Amino acid sequence: MKPAPQICFTGSATIDGKQLFAPLTLNINAEQWTCVLGPSGVGKSTILRLIAGLDTFVSFDGQITADDGQSLSGRVAYMAQSDLLFPWLNVADNVGIGASLRGEKVDNDRVAKMIARVGLTDHTNKKPASLSGGQRQRVALARTLMENRPVILLDEPFSALDAKTRSEMHELAAELLSKRTVLLVTHDPAEAARLAHTGYIMQENGVTRMDMPDTTPVRGYDDPDTLNCQGALFRALRGDTPT
């Protein structure tokens, strides 16, 4: 894998002349997790889609740069809220789909390794319909790892999971996606408190950088630092205290 770059996102976006988000700057540090936390509809996912080079319905005025000066095209992997597993393919074929889509030969040994890393070796030949929500997101994580991209964009990928599975996925994702530049968009303060090296609260008037604990993620869900941070993020999100 190529070295993970630092990304700077700066700019504003409008939809049909109406402002979606005011001018803002996000510094997404290399080889760290950056979380953008905010309510629905403020443009969090739009930022992520703009970085991924995906279609948006907005007019973006700004720039997205990597510190190595190279384009982000081909260096980004994407995980969405829905696992986006193809129901007609089994676990192994879903994990290796990237190579198939590029017309390349699928490295079956590597596929098996990635499936083993997410603990699903026994389910290799199963179709997604026979897996639980947590297992499906693990497959999606294995598929993301298989792409071996230095930049990972996560659009609320754990939000549909139950609390226990979600906390387990936090730990697995933090372990497997270390040494990569990760941008996580979420509306869950607890998730941001556990996973983020750097945290931003995004609201209609822009973003605010939040103080995160000095400890290294992934933080314990009942760690006092995590709980304090979670509370602070919640307050900021609700506008209960000046930020």
Partner 1 sequence: MNWKHSIVSAMLLIAIWHVAIQITGVPSFILPPPLKVAKALWFYREIIAQNALITISEILLGLLIGTVLGIGTALQLAASKTARALLRPILVFSQAIPVFALAPILVLWFGFGIWSKVIMAVLIIYFPVTSAFLDGLISTPVGYLDLARTMGATRLKTLFHVRFRAALPSLGSGLRLAAVYAPIGAVIGELVGASKGLGYLMLLANGRVKIDLMFASLIVLAVLTVCLHLTIDALAKRLTKDY
Nearer to partner 1, 59 or 82 (CB): 82
Considering Cα of 238, then 226, then 38, then 171, what sign does the dihedral take? negative
Nearest CA-CA partner of 212 in 237, 235, 190, 229: 229
Residue among 8, 30, 84, 106 that touches partner 1 (CB under 8 A)? 84
Nearer to partner 1, 32 or 144 (CB): 144
Residue among 1, 22, 25, 88 that touches partner 1 (CB under 8 A)? 88
Structure tokens at 230: 């979670």
Q: Quick check: 69 binds partner 1 (CB under 8 A)? A: no
Stretch that binds partner 1, among 14-22, 77-85, 114-122, 202-210 (CB under 8 A): 77-85
- What's the CA gap between 109 and 183, in Å, rounded? 29
Binding mask 107-146 for partner 1 (x = CB under 8 A): --------------------xxx-----------------
Strands (E) in 56-120, as ranges, are 59-66, 76-79
Helix (H) or strand (E) holding 174: helix 163-176
The HSE-up count of residue 222 (CA atoms within 13 Å, CB side) is 0
Q: Quick check: 105 binds partner 1 (CB under 8 A)? A: no
Least separation in angstroms between residue 170's CB and partner 1 is 22
DSSP 55: -
Residue among 16, 41, 102, 109 that touches partner 1 (CB under 8 A)? 102
